[in-house]
Chains A and B, each alone.
Chain A
Amino acid sequence: MPFKVFTNGVPLPASDLNDYLMEQSIATFANSAARTAAITSPVEGQFTYLASTNALEFWDGAAWATAGGGGPTLISTTTLTGASVTLSSIPQDYKDLYFEILNYQPASTAVLNMRFNGLSTGIYMSRDYSQRINETMIETQWEITETGQANTGTNFSARGTLWDYTNTSFRRYGTGFWFGNAGTSNASVGPQAWFSSSTAAITSLTFFPTGANFTAGTVKLYGVK
């Protein structure tokens, strides 16, 4: 669609408004469903902004694509309190989920865990230092920090990515690492790999220390396209 320069005194028909002004501006929608309902035949090069994901996107002729860099988009920042924190209604518009746990401190020695979609049956497997071969999945949550770490008085942080979290053709999996220190001289660090037999798209994540409450910490959730 060619770009038109309007001049004073020339009549402005509705067709010019529709063809040039509307399709050359950035329309804002609450989410992708609202956009699909409003724009039934997008034009290549057309831009939109989605409030639900804070995403500026353009129609590339076949699909809506992210404009500019594909860096992570912050979805939520939540203080860790109580026995568990659940992040629900996670948008399904991204490819991967990335989370950060910052300055986690439990009330007593406890492992920091994660479940998705409220599932608490034996469908999880975590590995914190070496591979696991052909083992039965019996764990009821993913471990973020390692079992047996003396957590009391230790400041922990962790990072993790849950790959392809909406793709129901694959089972859920992720990778990450954790680190903690109880002072200036001692520290712990370890990798984590997570796997689940479930193929369900992740719509919620629950973080909880086993048998203890959070006393401090923050969880940040990002979407990555």
Chain B
Amino acid sequence: MSEIKIVNVSTGKETVRQMNQQELAQAELDKQNLEAKLKIKAEAKALAEAKLSSLGLTADDLKALLG
């Protein structure tokens, strides 16, 4: 997954090359950041659903309230 494309829109010249070390490291960091964000989002959702459930409510009830 390490091929990138660069297009100079002023000249139309297109360059396709492999990522360098810095770009590879950035791509890995981006992936880790997204995984962390998804994990936090999933945990927050599970917690919220548990709280709603303890009140006898569901997510659909909340959607209905919020319109």
Contact = CB atoms under 8 A, between A and B. Distances in A.
Nearest to B9: A76
Main secondary structure of the interface of A (DSSP, over half): loop
A65 interface: no
A146 to B, nearest CB: 10
B40 to A, nearest CB: 10
A88 B4 contact: no
A123 interface: no
A78 B5 contact: yes
Given A111-B34, A140-B30, A141-B30, A83 B4 contact: yes
Given A147-B34, A148-B38, A212-B1, A83 B7 contact: no
A88 B38 CA distance: 31
Interface residues of A, number: 30
Nearest to B37: A147
A166 B52 CA distance: 47
A89 interface: yes
B54 interface: no
B5 A82 contact: yes
Contacts of B34: 110-111, 147, 210-211
B10 interface: yes
A107 B2 CA distance: 13
B48 to A, nearest CB: 14
Contact of A83 (B19, B29, B33, B38): B19
Interface string A68-109: 000000011010011111111111000000000000000100
B65 interface: no
A86 B4 contact: yes
Contacts of A148: 38, 41-42
Nearest to A212: B1
Nearest to A91: B10
Interface in A140-186: 140-141, 147-148
A140 B9 contact: no
B27 A83 contact: yes
A92 B40 CA distance: 40
- Of A76, A84, A89, most buried by chain B (CB within 10 Å of CB) is A84
B8 interface: yes
Q: Which 4 interchain pairs have the tightest Cβ spacing?
A: A211-B31, A82-B3, A76-B9, A89-B10
Interface of B: 1-11, 14, 16, 19, 26-27, 29-31, 33-35, 37-38, 41-42
7 contacts: A78-B7, A81-B3, A82-B5, A90-B9, A91-B10, A208-B27, A210-B31
